[in-house]
Amino acid sequence: MNILFIGDIFGRPGRNIVKEKLPELVRQHSVDLVLANCENAAAGFGITPALAEELFDLGIDVMTTGNHVWDKREIIEYFAMADGNPHSPARRLLRPANFAPGLAGWGLYEGQKKGVPYAVVNLQGRVFMGSSDDPFRYMDRLLESIKAKIIFLDFHAEATSEKVAFGWYLDGRVTAIVGTHTHIPTADEIVLPKGTAYITDVGMTGPYESVIGVKKELVIDRFLSGMPARFEAASGDVRLCGVVIECDDTTGRATRIERLMLR
């Protein structure tokens, strides 16, 4: 199975480049399963039900999020819409599993594509991030219940050390662990010795003439003055960042990871 994962889709520029490039990417890389992080799809902050549906309609199978998941409060009602249907679009939108118990939404999706079972997990890191449950032990517990051999993890985290450590911790136990959240792609993609594909951060799908997606003047001003400011999405130098991961359907082991950056 070939899995395409698209990094944090940021605002309209991010959504547009996904719409423009996805069909060709799927053809070119014989992609079977399309995953994306969409926590910044709504002008950089969160995702609305309408935008979630728009992205699913482009052919994305499962979407992950992160710390921005609640920025648009309507998404809570969207999660509620999934009740009773284990494969509805609303159920295929994830938020980090290790958030406080009892919140809306799910951090694990188990499905099938072309007859092959797979699981997608979304977890958030704890270093320089809001508080959450320990992702390491949380993943240990999740792995006890997941039956699929193909297990894909979006680890939404800030610190490179926490991400690299989690990669080694999970080597041989998941198909892939990819980092999101920093919006800056790293050049360390690798298939670890026991068959887990890893990259510290896939990077953002959005405007790079910016400070991690936001109009650069606004962020520079914030650093200079320390005053609160309303952040707006930038628009220049739009890129799609992602990875394609090839894995064995029967063992779930990754055989290849390729980093993508399209303009």
Q: Which helix (H) or strand (E) holds 147?
A: none
One of 5, 8, 17, 202 touching Fe ion (CB under 5 A): 8
Taking alpha carbons only, the member of 231, 259, 257 closest to residue 10 is 231
Q: Which is nearer to Fe ion, 94 or 247 (CB)?
A: 94
Q: Which is nearer to Fe ion, 15 or 149 (CB)?
A: 15
154 binds Fe ion (CB under 5 A): no
2 vs 14, 118, 206, 224, 246, CA distance in Å? 22, 12, 23, 45, 5
- Region class of 46: left (phi > 0), else alpha (psi between -120 and 50), else beta: left
46 binds Fe ion (CB under 5 A): no
Q: Which is nearer to Fe ion, 65 or 196 (CB)?
A: 65
Per-residue interface string for the shown chain with Fe ion, residues 25-44, x marking contact by CB under 5 A: --------------xx----
Q: How many residues bind Fe ion (CB under 5 A)?
A: 6
Residues 181-210 that bind Fe ion (CB under 5 A): 181
> Sign of the C-alpha dihedral, residues 158, 32, 247, 24?
negative
Nearest approach in angstroms of CB 170 to Fe ion is 20
> Sign of the C-alpha dihedral, residues 189, 9, 173, 96?
positive
By CB under 5 A, which span of 3-11, 21-29, 114-122, 215-223 interacts with Fe ion?
3-11
Nearest approach in angstroms of CB 228 to Fe ion is 19
Q: Which is nearer to Fe ion, 128 or 141 (CB)?
A: 128
Nearest approach in angstroms of CB 5 to Fe ion is 14
Per-residue interface string for the shown chain with Fe ion, residues 56-85, x marking contact by CB under 5 A: ----------xx------------------
Catalytic residue among 29, 68, 87, 156: 68
Task: Please check whether residue 36 is in contact with residue 63, taking contact to mean a CB–CB distance below 8 angstroms.
Answer: yes
Nearest approach in angstroms of CB 122 to Fe ion is 11
Q: Which helix (H) or strand (E) holds 247?
A: strand 236-247
Residue whose pair of structure tokens reads 């991690």 in the numeric block: 212
Annotated catalytic, 183? no
By CB under 5 A, which span of 6-14, 70-78, 195-203, 255-263 interacts with Fe ion?
6-14
- Residue 71 burial (C-beta neighbours within 10 Å; 0-12, 13-18, 19+): middle
Residue whose pair of structure tokens reads 């309303």 in the numeric block: 230
Nearest approach in angstroms of CB 262 to Fe ion is 18
Rg of the chain over all Cα atoms, to the nearest angstrom: 17
Taking alpha carbons only, the member of 88, 87, 93 closest to residue 69 is 93
> Which spans of this chain sit near Fe ion (rule: CB under 5 A)?
8, 39-40, 66-67, 181
Residues serving a catalytic function are 68
